[in-house]
Each structure stands twice: as structure tokens, then as C-alpha cells.
């Protein structure tokens, strides 16, 4: 199969809707984040070079570099979610007849579950960065297209809260509670203040329309 990012949007949506386990919500979270970063890039590209925005030119150049790097990271995460999910499913299929097999299977599941907790945690972190970047675009970018910064913040928020659900799901299945609690604490730190921050950006955007 082609990597998801090389599939058409129609085929991605068809496969999403199907009863196949992948792609699923984790890929949608990453794609929402990637769309957020792309819209911030668009805001930069529609600001850079405009005489009216000469004062923020350098800042927009820096923002564009960050949003483009982040877009690549988040686009790669569409696949990362599928990969770790498939590996997790494979461990569940390991033999479990003898006691040795049962132990080996359980250890394999727990090992991949740790990765399956970290993948959406990384996605959440990247989406939080996408939100932060969209705020700069909303504040300083071309006000003629500021609604795109508003969509960027909402897409980033959707991605972040979606990724969080997958962290909760996989952390709940972990036996290593110290590891799980550490990851959940990282997630809560990422989520802290985000609701309020997103609302603020939305208001900044709406006031400029």
C-alpha cells in the first residue's frame, strides 16, 4: 500500500470510513495538525513581501520555517500512527499456548503499548506547537486572510484533543504505571491552558474579520 499521504483524499476518507482498523482517529489527529501548520505557512506566504507588512517580514520568515518543519513532522505522523497500531495488533496475534509464550506475548504487547502511548503524545505536542504558531500568524500576519489563522488554530486544537484521547486509551492498558503516569503528566502539561489560549486566538481572529 502507498503511504497514506500519497493517497488521494477520497481514498483516505473511504478507508477511514471502512471497517479496517487503520487509518483511524490517530491519523486524523495528525492530519488536522498538518492542516493547521499548512494554513500558518499560507498566512506567512501571503504576508511575506507585502510592503504593508515589511515590519514583520523577518518574523514571518522565521514563522514559515517553523510551520513548514512542523508540517513535515505532522504529515509523517499520519503514517506513524498506522505503523504502531499495526505493530500492536501483531503482538496480540502472538502465540499464547505455553506459559513462556504467554509471558513473551504480554511483554511484547506492553513494549509496543509504550510506543503506542508516545506516538500520540508526540502528535499532541506537535499540535500544541501548531496552535502556538497559528497565534503568531493571527497576531501579525496579513489581516486580509486572518480567517485562515483562525482555521489553523481550530485544526490544531482538534488534532491536540484527538491525540490526547489516544494517549489516554493506550496509557490505560499499560502495566508499568510509573511510565504511564509520567506520560499522562506530560500530556496534562501540554494541555494546560490550551482551551483558553485557543479561545483567545479565535477572538483575535473574529475581531479582525
* Binding positions for its own copies, rule: CB under 8 A: 4-10, 12-14, 16-19, 21, 24-25, 28-29, 31-32, 34-35, 37-39, 41-42, 45-46, 67-68, 71, 75, 78, 145, 147-148, 150-152, 154-155, 157-158, 161-162, 165-166, 168-169, 172, 202, 205-206, 209
Find out whether 15 and 23 touch, Cβ atoms under 8 Å. yes
For residue 190, the minimal CB distance to its own copies (Å) is 16
Nearer of residues 104 and 139 to its own copies, judged by Cβ: 139
User: Under a CB-based contact definition with an 8 Å cutoff, are residues 163 and 25 in contact?
Assistant: no
Minimum distance from residue 1 beta carbon to its own copies (Å):
13
User: Which one, 35 or 91, has the nearer CB to its own copies?
Assistant: 35
C-alpha distances in Å from residue 54, one per residue of 10, 43, 58, 59, 116:
40, 14, 8, 10, 44
Nearest approach, Cβ of residue 169 and its own copies (Å): 5
Is the backbone peptide bond immediately before 23 cis, with ω within 30 degrees of 0? yes
- Residue 178 C-beta: closest distance to its own copies, Å: 20
Tell me which residue of 45, 50, 189 sits closest to 128, measured CA to CA: 189
Residue placing its CB nearer to its own copies in the complex, 101 or 193: 193
Separation CA 58–CA 60 (nearest Å): 5
Amino acid at each position: 500500500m502507498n503511504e497514506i499521504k500519497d493517497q488521494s483524499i477520497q481514498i483516505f476518507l473511504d478507508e477511514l470510513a471502512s471497517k479496517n482498523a487503520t487509518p483511524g482517529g490517530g491519523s486524523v489527529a495528525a492530519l488536522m495538525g498538518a492542516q493547521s501548520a499548512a494554513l500558518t505557512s499560507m498566512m506567512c506566504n501571503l504576508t511575506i513581501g507585502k510592503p504593508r507588512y515589511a515590519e514583520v517580514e523577518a518574523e514571518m520568515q522565521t514563522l514559515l520555517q517553523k510551520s513548514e518543519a512542523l508540517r513535515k513532522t505532522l504529515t509523517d505522523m499520519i503514517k506513524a500512527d498506522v505503523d504502531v497500531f499495526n505493530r500492536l495488533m501483531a503482538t496480540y496475534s502472538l502465540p499464547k499456548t505455553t506459559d513462556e509464550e504467554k509471558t513473551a506475548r504480554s511483554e511484547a504487547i506492553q513494549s509496543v503499548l509504550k510506543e503506542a502511548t508516545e506516538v500520540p503524545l508526540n502528535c499532541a505536542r506537535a499540535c500544541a506547537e501548531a496552535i502556538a504558531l497559528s497565534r503568531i500568524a493571527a497576531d501579525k500576519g496579513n489581516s486580509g486572510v486572518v480567517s485562515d489563522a483562525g482555521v489553523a488554530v481550530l485544526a490544531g486544537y482538534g488534532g491536540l484533543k484527538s491525540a490526547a484521547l489516544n494517549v489516554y486509551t493506550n496509557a490505560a492498558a499499560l502495566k508499568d504505571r510509573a511510565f504511564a503516569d509520567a506520560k499522562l503528566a506530560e500530556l496534562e502539561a501540554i494541555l494546560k491552558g490550551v482551551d483558553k489560549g485557543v479561545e483567545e486566538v479565535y477572538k483575535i481572529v473574529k475581531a479582525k474579520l
